[in-house]
Amino acid sequence: MTSQDYQHNSSLRESIAGRLSHFEQSRQSHTSPANQGTPLISAAVAIAVSKLTNSQNACIYLTKRSTNLRKHAGQYALPGGKADPGETYQQAALRELSEELGLRIDSSQILGTLDDFSTRSGFVITPVVVWDDSTSALAPNPDEVAQVFEIPLQELINPDLISLQETDTTPILSLYVPSIGNRIYSPTAAIIYQFREVGLLGRETRVSHYEQPGFAWR
């Protein structure tokens, strides 16, 4: 595939939405078998398919969280957070996009969802894929976001993208992302990897079994 396949246009939108519509999402239990049935907190992240600043090609946004945050400070993450009482995961994802990046997207721009991912830190994350065709500049909230990265979709289909680190249980999945010059780890890496597999390549790939590194447990 070439960069032409990932231009930010209606054809790409229809392709991603169509693949997501045929994917049977898996929803996770809100209790943690690894921690004697402790209730897990509902959360959502947004995979916002946007246009690169200096190109017609598409990207997704990845953030580096502020070091002042109580949870996962300084880690790479998709925009997102826990759902407020009475809030759906779709509403939570759109709200977090607005609060973190100043990106206001209507619910009609939601393309679909991926599998829930239960984290060691006590959340059940639902990834929501949205289409961003706004022309407004991002306005990152410095209280939550230290830096925003544009990750070209072309990078995500690189066959050398993923790495698996063996453990006593299941492997830890990580991705090396050239545009940030660093490696990201699950759960964020697993969610992005499933977006690539399902949304971009049309493969029914599951990721909820992948382990997370120790620093992500806190």
pLDDT at 73: 61
Q: Which tops the pLDDT comparison, 168 or 166?
A: 166
On whether the CB atoms of residues 152 and 70 are closer than 8 A, the answer is no
pLDDT at residue 80 tops 80? yes
CATH code of the domain covering residue 21: 3.90.79.10
Q: Would you state the structure tokens that stand for residue 76, as one six-digit string?
A: 């790479």
Total domain count for the chain? 1
pLDDT at 44: 96
pLDDT at residue 113 tops 50? yes
Structural domain boundaries enclosing 122: 3-155
Q: Which tops the pLDDT comparison, 98 or 30?
A: 98
Per-residue pLDDT, averaged over 37-62, amounts to: 92
Q: How many Å apart are CA 50 and CA 53, to the nearest integer?
A: 9
Amino acid at 127: P
Residue 128 lies in a domain: yes
Residue 71 lies in a domain: yes
Residues 6+ apart with CB under 8 A from 158: none
Q: How many Å apart are CA 157 and CA 47, to the nearest integer?
A: 16
Q: How many Å apart are CA 199 and CA 141, to the nearest integer?
A: 28
Per-residue pLDDT, averaged over 26-48, amounts to: 76
Q: Which of 34-38, 67-71, 123-127, 165-169 has the highest mean pLDDT?
A: 123-127
Return mean pLDDT, the chain: 89
